[in-house]
């Protein structure tokens, strides 16, 4: 794929992180996708497993919205590095020991997507969860 197609694929795929968009995995991801972020206990393997985690995330933040800040395609390796941020409201559940309080959050991260035949096969990234924890108030004394 050329750079523009890689960027378009990555941009569309990353919308899975906006609330209620888990079904985009069916269109944009290989059925055997592996998703691994530094805060995951273990990688999520397969579309259905990954969808279940995304739906939990949407439950915590039902208005979650991702914004792509930068896309860096690599035609040789067929990867795209994505700089992003997401915004939402902690509406439900206990997250990092904090009960939902309606607090607005804004968190940044970087994701590397591996793409084959127009589908994302691997997603690996890091999220600024320390910032999230601080915004939720989990570190308040």
| Residue 136 counted as domain residue | no
pLDDT digits (tens, 9 = 90+) for 35-62: 999 989 999 999 999 999 999 999 999 9
Please give the pLDDT value at position 139.
81
| Residue 94 counted as domain residue | no
Q: Any idea what the CATH number is for the domain that residue 63 is in?
A: 3.10.450.50
Q: How far apart are CA 50 and CA 55, in angstroms?
A: 9
Residue with tokens 């209620």: 20
pLDDT digits (tens, 9 = 90+) for 74-117: 999 999 999 999 999 999 999 988 999 899 999 999 999 999 99
State whether residue 139 is helix, strand or coil.
coil
Please give the pLDDT value at position 119.
98
Domain containing 79 equals 3-83+110-125
| Residue 135 counted as domain residue | no
Q: Total structural domains in the chain?
A: 1
* Inter-residue contact 88 to 64 (CB < 8 Å): yes
Is the entire prediction scored with pTM above 0.95?
no
Please give the pLDDT value at position 138.
86
For residue 113, what are its two tokens?
């997507």
């Amino acid at each position: 794929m050329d750079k523009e197609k890689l960027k378009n694929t990555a941009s569309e795929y990353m919308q899975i992180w906006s609330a209620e968009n888990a079904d985009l995995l069916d269109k944009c991801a290989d059925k055997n996708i592996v998703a691994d972020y530094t805060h995951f206990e273990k990688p999520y393997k397969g579309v259905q497993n990954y969808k279940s985690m995304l739906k939990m995330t949407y439950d915590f933040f039902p208005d979650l919205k991702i914004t792509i800040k930068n896309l860096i395609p690599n035609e040789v390796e067929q990867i795209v590095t994505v700089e992003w941020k997401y915004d939402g409201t902690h509406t439900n559940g206990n997250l990092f020991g904090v009960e939902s309080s309606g607090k607005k959050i804004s968190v940044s991260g970087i994701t590397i997507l591996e793409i084959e035949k127009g589908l994302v096969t691997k997603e690996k990234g890091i999220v600024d969860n320390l910032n999230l924890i601080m915004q939720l108030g989990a570190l308040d004394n």
